[in-house]
Structure 1
Amino acid sequence: MNKSIPNDVFKPKPTRTESKDDTTSKAAKAIINDELAQRLAKTERLRQARLAQEAVAVVESKAAKPKARARKAGKA
């Protein structure tokens, strides 16, 4: 007869305060991680928008440059 000991027998049960603290900590970590993900997504979105805007500005500046006019010879 082999009697197995349940795994939960020797694990200490958290007190009521510890349980509340754990719940609060988990909720706070979830909020912080969510805010971090939102901040990183916003940063990436703004970076892509800036790069696109800079690319358009470069193309426009190349197209908008006036060509140098030749000076007339003979006037001094």
Structure 2
Amino acid sequence: MAKLLKTTVFSSDTSPKETSLDKTTRIMRRITQDEAEVRHQKTARLRKARFESEANSSDS
């Protein structure tokens, strides 16, 4: 019989497989982050436009 090493018996070269719940969670987090980024960009753009509008109206 072949002699087994301690590292041979309990080693696992492959990572655990991603479950469907993990996959769903990962996808939803990415979607949520993407939506938040778009929302922040839109808010910044609107804020800048408002400040420019207020600056122009106060000059008149």
Corresponding position of 1:39 = 39
> Which whole-Å CA distance do the structure 2 matches of 1:55 and 1:30 have between them?
38
Structure with the higher helix share, 1 or 2: 2
Larger Rg: 1
Corresponding residue pairs, total: 54
**Long gaps (5+) in structure 2:** none
Corresponding position of 1:23 = 23
TM-score normalized by the length of structure 1: 0.59
Matches within 5 A, 1:7-22: 9=12, 13-14=16-17, 19-22=19-22
Change (3 A) 1:8 1:26: farther
Corresponding position of 2:7 = 5
TM-score normalized by the length of structure 2: 0.73
Q: Is it true that 1:48 corresponds to 2:48 in the alignment?
A: yes
